[in-house]
Chain A
Amino acid sequence: AGVLSIARNEDSTTFDPIKSAQNVDNWVFSNVFDVLVRVDASGTQLVPGLAESWTISEDGLTYTFKLRDAKFSDGAPVTAEDAAYSLIRIRDDKGSLWSDSFKIIDTAIATDPKTLVVKLKGKSVPFLSMMALPNASVLPKKLVEGAAADTFAEKPVGSGAFSVVEWRRGDRIILKKNPNYWDAGKVSLDGVEWLVIPDDNTRMLKIQAGEVDAAITVPFSRVAELKTNPALKVISDPSTREDHMLINHEHGALAKKEVREALDLAIDKKAIVEAATFNLGEVAYSYVPKGSLYHYADNLQRPYDPEKAKKLLADAGASGLTLNYVVNAGKETDEQIAVLVQQQLAKAGVNVNLQKVDPSQSWDMLVNGDYDISVMYWTNDILDPDQKTTFVLGHDTNMNYMTRYKNDEVKALVEAARLETDPVKREAMYVTLQKTAKGDVNWIDLYYSPYINVTRGNIEKFHQNPLGRFFLEETVKN
């Protein structure tokens, strides 16, 4: 029982799930709305959500979902009509940020109040994983259609474990337990408050002072200290986050594989894990994060060897290389990594100019190729590796995540893997992809890191799955 207050660093932006692509929104979406298919707590399996069960046709083009008896928080039943409407809406609505991803849907029809039939334009193995996106939540058609443009987003109605009482912008979102939730019996909390506390120090002081029950996104630097506080529990949940260094393959010497390889050799990831993550992270070696589907644990790990790096550079005729390193301003860890990498590369004879820019600008610079190297991170939205693989290696419109990496074999393999239904064969394909990418040094994997949250001692079962969903319907406040 009780109301769980959670301190986070940013406010939600909207309650219309199709109009956001941000984690801050997703966290609350999954409290308030429900999806047809969910990803389980371990982040490795799809489990029933609003859909009790589903079948996939032989050709992989028709998905039939059987909906359970569930109600929206206002007491109206959740129907297949609502589900169909929501899917078509995310695909077609002008304001949807997800249209592209859902273009694969051809039709979505409610054949009866509890049956939803979705037909795809083409085969897509990751499709089911996409149904677990909070953005594809099932919304009450009547309310969304009837409402003026932004009223629903202010005062939403969903079928999740909690419903929105009040949104005080910039301050907090107040949720209360939804008695009409289909699994309401299991929900222990009376309500949840998501508080906005942007400053890291304040957020940590807030929980130390006992003014909130939980604080999320704990900076690595604060963990050791919080752990010494007996009143607090520091929780480290596995995530799909991977930090990596992008390399612009089109810039001069960086086009040469040997040069990129030298950079990989010259960067001491262990030192970064130590200094920037305080040993909370783990050295990364594959673009598929550890613990994720098809992660290849035996992938190549280049040792830290500045001497060899120097030699490789010399051989490639790139001694005295000078690189322009775009750093995201205002990100504590990113700035720390930049300072470390600058010194490490200097040991291999590479001169690095740090160029700190505001994060909104760094996107543009990366997209336009105005950079040599830059550190970015990725967390998976969906369980299936296809999404990230396509972005990173699939040669789509993003120039392989702005790296301008080109390998046609890889490109073909990414497409094939998307369509492969046999899990064993699919895994083999992804292992190959991971090896090839590493061999080509498409980028430099730096580290994997967990989600680190902290709660007061009386809070139990406060967990996040690797995709970032909080399972507050299970959380207990004693």
Chain B
Amino acid sequence: MSAAVSPKRMNRTLVAGLVLLGGFVLAALAAPLIAPYDPIFQDAAARLQPPSWAHPFGTDNFGRDILSRLIFGARVDLQMALIGVFFPLVIGTVIGAIAGYLGGIVDAVLMRLIDIILAFPFLVLMLSIIAILGPGLSSFYIAMALVGWVSYARLIRAQILVLKNADYAVAAVSLGFSRTRVLFRHLLPNSVAGSLVFCMSDAVLVLLSGAAISYLGLGVQPPTAEWGIMVAEGQAFLSQAWWITLFPGLAIVLLAFGFSMIGDALGEAMGVHE
């Protein structure tokens, strides 16, 4: 299984993924410096302009520069991917670890809860939570966290169930280590690999959920530049002004691509597969 070629290729994939992601992070950080225009500045004279030297990616129906909006959008979307994955990961990991390690009634109750959330139509939950809290990024994060932790909890729980009988876990117990130490120092670090890999594809899912929510009209507050909402809003002008949707669409794809390359490479490195 340890073909000598794979580490090299794995490295290449990882580097490519990191370069792509790094590019976006850099663009997001340096947005005010590199964006040619103010992302929310409307220029009535320059509405729906096709790509040109002045506006490399064209303008939208308010005459806003697409490129600048893309660059500033990177801030929002990266943040969405990050927060949208981080909280589910943390919550899911802790809950899954506890359920798997303690077993018994705690596990049974948590598993039923997980079953319920899994059986719950994702969109009902998403839309209801966003409707309750009002559209906007923070509601989106809360909704993502409430729904998203389940996958991680299941992953981790399954791992812990296996690992808690592993020799080194039993060894740790036999050496008089406390439960918390065994769980958090020995079992968790050895079970998060799968979740970390899953994170990467989850980040893509988060972005797409955001885009779907935008399509249904409950995305981020205008005039914030966010790729999903740019695509959703640009649809109205699809046949007149393809550039409004194409470029943010491509941005999502590229970011997704970066994430999945990192995920692939991590997966190969850690020997886990989804």
Question: CB atoms of A and B under 8 A apart anywhere in the complex?
Answer: yes
| Contacts known (A222-B236, A361-B131); A274 close to B218, Cβ less than 8 A | no
B42 A336 Cβ-Cβ under 8 A: no
Bound complex: CA A434 to CA B131 (Å)? 38
| Contacts known (A221-B237, A327-B222, A330-B216); A336 close to B135, Cβ less than 8 A | no
| Contacts known (A201-B235, A357-B134, A357-B135); A274 close to B44, Cβ less than 8 A | yes
A49 sits at the interface (CB 8 A): no
We find that the number of chain B residues with CB closer than 8 angstroms to chain A is: 23
A224 sits at the interface (CB 8 A): yes
A282 sits at the interface (CB 8 A): no
A271 B44 Cβ-Cβ under 8 A: yes
B106 sits at the interface (CB 8 A): no
> Would you give the shortest CB distance from B266 to chain A, in whole angstroms?
37
A354 sits at the interface (CB 8 A): yes
| Minimum CB distance partner of B220 in chain A | A356
| Minimum CB distance partner of A353 in chain B | B221
B42 A340 Cβ-Cβ under 8 A: yes
| Contacts known (A219-B236, A274-B44, A340-B42); A354 close to B62, Cβ less than 8 A | no
- List which B35-91 residues lie within 8 A (CB) of chain A: 40, 42, 44, 47, 61-62
B239 A356 Cβ-Cβ under 8 A: no
- List which A316-368 residues lie within 8 A (CB) of chain B: 327, 329-332, 335-336, 338-340, 342-343, 354-358, 361
Bound complex: CA A274 to CA B62 (Å)? 10
| Minimum CB distance partner of A328 in chain B | B217
Set of chain A residues within 8 Å of B240, measured between Cβ atoms: 221, 224-225
Binary interface profile of B, 222-266, with partner A (CB < 8 Å = 1, else 0)?
110000000001011111100000000000000000000000000
| Minimum CB distance partner of B135 in chain A | A356
> Would you give the shortest CB distance from B205 to chain A, in whole angstroms?
22
A335 B131 Cβ-Cβ under 8 A: no
A216 sits at the interface (CB 8 A): no
A105 sits at the interface (CB 8 A): no
A40 sits at the interface (CB 8 A): no
B136 A339 Cβ-Cβ under 8 A: no
| Contacts known (A200-B236, A329-B218, A335-B222); A358 close to B131, Cβ less than 8 A | yes
Set of chain B residues within 8 Å of A61, measured between Cβ atoms: none
| Contacts known (A219-B236, A275-B44); A329 close to B223, Cβ less than 8 A | no
Binary interface profile of B, 79-108, with partner A (CB < 8 Å = 1, else 0)?
000000000000000000000000000000
Set of chain A residues within 8 Å of B134, measured between Cβ atoms: 355-357, 361
> Would you give the shortest CB distance from A112 to chain B, in whole angstroms?
54
- List which B130-162 residues lie within 8 A (CB) of chain A: 131, 134-136
B222 A338 Cβ-Cβ under 8 A: yes
| Minimum CB distance partner of B236 in chain A | A221
| Minimum CB distance partner of A222 in chain B | B236
Bound complex: CA A357 to CA B238 (Å)? 26
Set of chain A residues within 8 Å of B238, measured between Cβ atoms: 201
Bound complex: CA A201 to CA B239 (Å)? 9
Set of chain A residues within 8 Å of B61, measured between Cβ atoms: 221, 275, 336
A358 B135 Cβ-Cβ under 8 A: yes
Bound complex: CA A355 to CA B220 (Å)? 10
If over half of A's interface residues share one DSSP class (helix, strand or loop), that class is named, otherwise mixed; here it is helix
| Minimum CB distance partner of A221 in chain B | B236
Set of chain A residues within 8 Å of B216, measured between Cβ atoms: 330
B235 A356 Cβ-Cβ under 8 A: no
Set of chain B residues within 8 Å of A329, measured between Cβ atoms: 135, 217-218
> Would you give the shortest CB distance from A327 to chain B, in whole angstroms?
7
Bound complex: CA A222 to CA B136 (Å)? 28
Set of chain B residues within 8 Å of A225, measured between Cβ atoms: 239-240
- List which A392-431 residues lie within 8 A (CB) of chain B: none
> Would you give the shortest CB distance from A286 to chain B, in whole angstroms?
26
Bound complex: CA A336 to CA B223 (Å)? 9
Bound complex: CA A339 to CA B229 (Å)? 14
Set of chain A residues within 8 Å of B44, measured between Cβ atoms: 271, 274-275
> Would you give the shortest CB distance from B45 to chain A, in whole angstroms?
11
B235 A355 Cβ-Cβ under 8 A: no
B221 A330 Cβ-Cβ under 8 A: no
| Minimum CB distance partner of A219 in chain B | B236
Binary interface profile of B, 119-137, with partner A (CB < 8 Å = 1, else 0)?
0000000000001001110
> Would you give the shortest CB distance from B40 to chain A, in whole angstroms?
8
| Minimum CB distance partner of B63 in chain A | A275
Set of chain B residues within 8 Å of A224, measured between Cβ atoms: 240
Set of chain A residues within 8 Å of B236, measured between Cβ atoms: 200-201, 219, 221-222, 332
A355 B221 Cβ-Cβ under 8 A: yes
- List which B155-193 residues lie within 8 A (CB) of chain A: none
Set of chain A residues within 8 Å of B222, measured between Cβ atoms: 327, 335, 338-339, 354, 356
B217 A358 Cβ-Cβ under 8 A: yes
B131 A336 Cβ-Cβ under 8 A: no
Bound complex: CA A282 to CA B224 (Å)? 29
Set of chain B residues within 8 Å of A271, measured between Cβ atoms: 44
Bound complex: CA A356 to CA B136 (Å)? 8
| Minimum CB distance partner of A344 in chain B | B42
Set of chain A residues within 8 Å of B136, measured between Cβ atoms: 356
Bound complex: CA A404 to CA B44 (Å)? 34
Bound complex: CA A332 to CA B238 (Å)? 14
> Would you give the shortest CB distance from B65 to chain A, in whole angstroms?
15
B217 A339 Cβ-Cβ under 8 A: no
> Would you give the shortest CB distance from B234 to chain A, in whole angstroms?
10
Set of chain B residues within 8 Å of A355, measured between Cβ atoms: 134, 221
- List which A255-288 residues lie within 8 A (CB) of chain B: 271, 274-275
B218 A358 Cβ-Cβ under 8 A: yes
B223 A339 Cβ-Cβ under 8 A: yes
Q: Specify which of B40, B221, B233 lies most central, judged by the most chain A CB atoms within 10 Å of its CB.
A: B221
> Would you give the shortest CB distance from B42 to chain A, in whole angstroms?
5
Set of chain B residues within 8 Å of A222, measured between Cβ atoms: 236
| Contacts known (A221-B237, A330-B217, A356-B221); A339 close to B131, Cβ less than 8 A | no
**Given A225-B240, A275-B47, A355-B221, 4 extra CB contacts under 8 A:** A275-B62, A336-B61, A343-B42, A356-B135
Using CB atoms and an 8 Å cutoff, list the residues of chain B in contact with chain A: 40, 42, 44, 47, 61-62, 131, 134-136, 216-218, 221-223, 233, 235-240
Question: What are 6 contact pairs spanning A and B, CB under 8 A?
Answer: A221-B240, A330-B216, A339-B62, A340-B42, A358-B218, A361-B131
Query: Which 9 A-B pairs rank lowest in CB-CB distance, beginning with the nearest?
Result: A330-B217, A329-B217, A221-B236, A356-B135, A339-B223, A339-B222, A356-B221, A358-B131, A225-B240
